[in-house]
Structure formats: C-alpha cells, structure tokens
Amino acid sequence: MDKQLAKKGLIRFGIGILLVLLLLFLPAGTLRYAGGWRFLFVLFVPMLIMGLVLLKKNPELLKKRLDAKEKQGAQKAVVLLSLLMFAGGFILAGLDFRFDWVQLPRFVSRIAAVIFLTGYAMYAEVMRENAYLSRTVKVQEGQKVVDTGLYGIVRHPMYTATILMFTMIPLILGSLAALPVFLLYPAIIVKRIGNEEKVLAKELQGYDAYLKKVKYRLFPKIW
C-alpha cells in the first residue's frame, strides 16, 4: 500500500467532510438536520469505499483523481463556478432548514438519495471502464480513446452521472430554495464539455472518429 497516497487521500477526505459540515450545519443553526446527515452519508460513505478500493487495486487512478490542478484557463473558470455553486447551495439549504422557507417532505429526500446512489454506481462503473479518468482536462501519455461500455452510449458518462447526483443534492437536503442553485450545474458541465472536446480532438489520436461514432454527449436522444 502506498502510505503517502493513503495519507493524502485521508486528508482530502477529512477536509471535505469538515467543509460540508460547516457549510450545512452552521447556517442551519443546529445538528438536528436529518437531510444534512442523510446527504453526508450518501456522499462520503461510498466515497470512502471507492477510495479504499482504488488504493488497493488502482493507486494510479486514485492519484489522478486527487490531482485537481487545471491548466486550461476555461476549465479553471468552470472549477471556480462549481465551487461557488456548491458553497452557495449548501449555505442556502442550511438557511432554508433554519427558517423553514420551502422544506420538502421526507419521502422526497429519500427518493433523491436513491437516485444519488444510482448516479454514484454509474460513476464507479465509469472509473472501472476508463483508466485515464483524470479530474483535469489533459491528454495523458499513452492515452487511448475508450469507446466501449457506457462510452459507447454517450461521450461523457462521468458527467451524466454527476448531473444525476448533484441535481439531487438539494432534494436530499429537503430544500426547494437551494434547487435553482444546483440546477446551474448542467450549464457548467456543458461549458466544460465544449472546451474538453476541443482539447481531446486536437491532442488525442482517434478522438475525431469517436465524435462521429458516438453522437450524444450526455443523454441519448437528447444531447
């Protein structure tokens, strides 16, 4: 086991939990926020399991997933917008709970949690299929086009999975007020895809042919 990689991953994991706790429960003004705890469970338990599996079976992919330093200017802007979206959405959801603005029924939160976990399962499958799956937009040495499995259906199944997951977050949190903020995520991803496909078409051999083979980017028959 790569102890340094394990340490880095655990530090990132701990920081992530702490940030979400602060952004949700401080605005909520209480720890008695069931939707907040439900979200922490469905987000961080699968994340820990996935991290441990990667650490044991594919540490190189884990290293790539922990590398979040974008070099593309357009992608830096996308990352910043995403961070602002999450921070603003979490704070708004916490305030919604505190002041009881537009709270949703508990069954909505539970259904959204199931959809979130379904997206997580899809995300895990994408990671299994694509060993080149970095968090940053770049072409790696020896990288080849993956055109099988989910990649044979849509060009960016990882983004499809994250859209399913992240648009469910305000519903898991029980906050209708936060929903418009998280609905910005698909627009952010569309911007990221536009830049990403230009980079890959220019630098990754065979990607032009893949674009012709797989027509849809995120959802079959839609886009």
Q: What is the pLDDT of residues 3-42, one digit of tens each?
A: 888 888 899 999 999 999 999 999 999 999 999 999 999 9
Whole-angstrom distance, CA of residue 122 vs CA of residue 211? 21
- In this structure, is residue 221 part of a structural domain? no
- In this structure, is residue 15 part of a structural domain? yes
Question: What is the extent of the structural domain holding 174?
Answer: 3-60+71-213
- In this structure, is residue 201 part of a structural domain? yes
Dihedral pair phi/psi, residue 103, rounded to 5°: -80, 140
Question: H or E element: which one contains 23?
Answer: helix 3-28
- In this structure, is residue 129 part of a structural domain? yes
- In this structure, is residue 88 part of a structural domain? yes
Residue 23's CATH number: 1.20.120.1630
CB of 92 closer than 8 Å to CB of 177: yes
Integer angstrom CA distances of residue 96 from 100, 104, 110: 5, 10, 18
Q: pLDDT per residue over 159-179, tens digit each?
A: 999 999 999 999 999 999 999
> Exposure of 28 by Cβ count < 10 A (0-12 exposed, 13-18 middle, 19+ buried)?
buried
- Top pLDDT among 142 and 217 is at 217
Strand partners, 48: none
59 closest CA partner among 9, 111, 107, 20: 9
Tally of domains in the chain: 1
Q: Is 62 left (phi over 0), alpha (psi -120 to 50) or beta?
A: alpha
92 closest CA partner among 163, 169, 17: 169
Mean pLDDT, the chain, as a whole number? 89
> Exposure of 116 by Cβ count < 10 A (0-12 exposed, 13-18 middle, 19+ buried)?
buried
pLDDT at 191: 85
pLDDT at 202: 86
- In this structure, is residue 159 part of a structural domain? yes
Whole-angstrom distance, CA of residue 9 vs CA of residue 66? 7
- In this structure, is residue 124 part of a structural domain? yes
- In this structure, is residue 219 part of a structural domain? no
CB of 71 closer than 8 Å to CB of 134: no
Q: How much is the average pLDDT of 73-82? A: 75
Whole-angstrom distance, CA of residue 148 vs CA of residue 131? 13
